[in-house]
Structure 1
Amino acid sequence: MRIAQLANFVGPSSGGMKTAVRALGAGYVRAGAERVLVVPGPCDARTAGEHGLVVQLRAPRVGGGYRLLVEPWRVLEVLDEFAPTSVEVSDKSTLLPVTSWGRRRGIPTLLFSHERLDAMLGLRTGLRVGIGAPVEALNRTLVRRFDGIVVTSDFARREFHDLAAAAGTPVHQVALGVDLETFRPAPVAPGSALAGARDGARDGTLRLVHVGRLSREKSPQLSVATAVELHRRGHRVNLDVYGDGPQRAELEQTAAGTGAVTFHGHVADRHGLARLVAHADVALSTCPGETFGLAVLEALACGTPVVTADVGGARELVDAASGAWGRPDPRSLADAVLAVAARPLAQRRRAARQRAEQFGWDRAVAAMLAVHREMGEVGLASPVRA
């Protein structure tokens, strides 16, 4: 099996996508598949490593630190050279010519849908009308051009379900995984000062954490507003925010004067970030448009229960034992935080970790390899769909 992974529109808010592509690719190679990863970058470069070949193609910046491949024919040259048995595409725009390339050669192409466009655009623009028609038109094109679509949650599946069924294109739901070694509970001795701090008992402060890019489509304002709401109710609370982005100044203004929120910026050290998350009482991951939520799994793996919105893919990761959920408004989310914090410390830590252990990367890799194998065996006997 020879798998080509194509990732486009790489930038500061694509951390979850990069983590998923990297973890899946490493798993493919461990399972015996050959793998090439094609990504945009500042210049052409090739790197061969233990996880296969990485081909970086020069690509312009398109704003906000992003790079976008705008010369798809150069991607096709790489594919001709590698001769994959299947192609996995994490892009819904400029790489569509890859689907025609695959049809001509009988090589199946899979769209790995990392975001739900209607939810993402609605959150980013604040618009509630006028989005549905253009998104549906694009999705209708996608289900006819790709030979299969991979989604990560039932919330994400619903975006394609009817259109894909009409086009006869299979939709595969594959939950992502979490690095259970990097993200793990902090060792806490019973009765230690650290144990008291974890439970907020040492100074009576409820310790919350939010990890993610501070951009509107990620809804960080809900986490900050939840902390401010708890402060307004008279609770001693501190929300540590790890991440940066264009909304930071606005969020800092929202929390100004409360002393309830501390902004730390981006933390590149994943092991260090894991230790910070492991020492919180509750993690907030409140975006109602999230299609999966790797940050949710990472917090759960650290033994930190999660409060999330009651809609979106992240909601599907949090069960009644490992956290709670509320309507995407500060009051409801604050109620959920207090309900989780009232549970015994050891109980909520254990339940969170046990939930995360259901989502190891090995399971996700095996599911994705099954999809690639199935697509390769079925082949492309049908003519190109217009």
Structure 2
Amino acid sequence: MGGVFGAVGTVGSLGVTAAVAARDIDGLAAASSKTAAKEEAATSAGAPAASSAAEDTATAGPAKGGERASKAAPKSGSSSGTTCSFTPSTRVLMKDGKTKPIGKIKSGDKVEAADPNTGKHQGPREVIARWVNHDDDLVDLTIRRADGSTAVLHTTSKHPYWDDTTHGWVPAGHLVAGHALNTVTGSHVFVATVAVRVGAADMYNLTVRQLHTYYVLAGATPVLVHNCNSGANGGKYGDLQPAGAGNEINHIPANSSSPLSKYSGPSIRMDYADHRAVYSTGSSLESQAWRMRQKELMGSGDFRGAMQMDVNDIRSRFGSKYDEAITEMWMGLSSNKALQKWTAGRNP
């Protein structure tokens, strides 16, 4: 069984501590410096810099009308392959109850936003980017209000909506008739139908600072949506959704072992086959033992040590392929409120 832990040591001598995790961050400094150098070069050339802090986005293709063109540039050798967006006339709930077509919103505007963990309204947050995507996965989402009236949102199949029936984010194409969607007042509208719309169109999305959520209007009703991933490949699980074609989001440590919610768990985007190859995934005895050891580490308060197990496993298998994503994940820990709350609870 000792071979199972070959990437980090034996079960009895697994010296994976927060200090080791800190050294890993130092070991990835070169990757961070490389990313920073690329951003500086891009900025010097007049292109928008891509932030490894997961709030700004790398871009590809020509921007038009002052917008950022998307799709997001991958940082770990795999593309998201998906876009999340709305028709330019779709109205967004702005600060103080005003509304504006998404196609006319600018960076610096403030939109009403919600806690991405609970779906509860939190007040205005700043828009830090607006995106235009040429999409061909169009769907019409029809919502039904309590009085029986309906309205339609022209969206894309991958755009996540807060499903208050399941208490999580669900792509439009997977919403179930009758499920409840959150409004800004905490009341609900309900999914009526989701219909594929043939063709392609320029569609718009936003990146919202900190909370990464906003409200789009179905008729006169604000409905909560997530701004999807913004080009980062490391961070909180929920902020990296959707995974994109050929990819999966890998919880680090494994979600089944973690005390955090699925949404809040530190994660990186990986190629599907790579994710399936690591020890933390699967039902084998080796994988079960791996996750058990992670749970033991977290039980003793060593969350970073449990993370480091997976980081070492990934790097032993794939070299530096995922280093930038891992760096983004480490950097995101300082703003992960769920992790901070868990840590504070263990150290009152």
Q: TM-score range by the shorter chain?
A: under 0.3
In terms of fraction of residues, the more helix-rich structure is 1
In terms of fraction of residues, the more strand-rich structure is 2
